[in-house]
Amino acid sequence: MINESSPNFKLNSQLTSASWRRVLLRVSPDAGRDPNTANLHIYGSQIVIIKCMLYGLIVCNIIMFGVLLLNFNHLPPQIPLFFSRPWGEDQLADTWLVLVLPFLLNVLYFMNLSLYKRFFSGNDFVKKIVDYLNVFLMITTTSIFVKIITLIT
């Protein structure tokens, strides 16, 4: 039976706070038969999305470093990296500077995540924008990195 002393009641009363408004509640299948014994399972939808995004970031990092390790022996001492500069030696950079792309991806991902948590933690619209931006960053940075490495080897 759910009463004021049960942990489910305390949890449900805490759900009114701003930090728990986005928590999804799922009632067990037997809840319709006996509402007093309904088991509430809490799933933090934001935590699940953050974990999936983090797994995506890890996969992108593995892809980038895997391509780099496979082609490292074939890389020239300088690679074209600064495409906004005029054609020629101005575009060339040392090979190790290609590692700026994965570093920049990781910094931007965690910066976007921390800015969202600090300033917009309750806004679903901003959360979707940050998630789509992070997916865009992961896909474009990984594809640019792979394209640069594969074109010069």
Same domain for 136 and 96: yes
Number of domains in the chain: 2
Q: Is residue 77 part of a domain?
A: yes
What's the pTM? 0.66
pLDDT tens digit at each of 153 positions of the chain: 445 555 544 444 444 444 434 443 344 444 444 444 444 333 455 666 777 888 999 999 999 999 999 998 998 988 888 888 888 888 888 989 999 999 999 999 999 999 998 998 888 899 899 999 999 999 999 999 999 999 888
Asked if 153 and 71 touch (Cβ cutoff 8 Å), the reply is yes
Task: Find the radius of gyration of the CA atoms of the chain.
Answer: 24
Same domain, 88 and 115: yes
Residues 25 and 60 placed together within one structural domain of the fold? no
The domain of 125 spans: 46-152
Helices (H) and strands (E) in the chain, counts: 4, 4
2 domain-assigned: no
69/32 same-domain check: no
Distances, alpha carbon 77 to alpha carbons 21, 81, 111, 112, 153, in Å: 54, 12, 32, 34, 11
Measure the CA angle with vertex 32, ends 28 and 34; round to 5°.
Answer: 90
Cα within 13 Å of Cα(19), Cβ side: 5
Say whether both 90 and 64 belong to one domain. Answer: yes
Task: Give all strands (DSSP E) within the chain, no chain letters.
Answer: 23-27, 40-44, 78-80, 92-94
Q: Do 53 and 29 meet the contact criterion of CB atoms below 8 Å apart?
A: no
Is residue 135 assigned to a domain?
A: yes
Are 36 and 82 members of one domain?
no
The answer to whether position 1 is within a domain reads: no
Say yes or no: 61 and 116 in one domain: yes
Assess whether 40 and 93 both reside in one domain: no
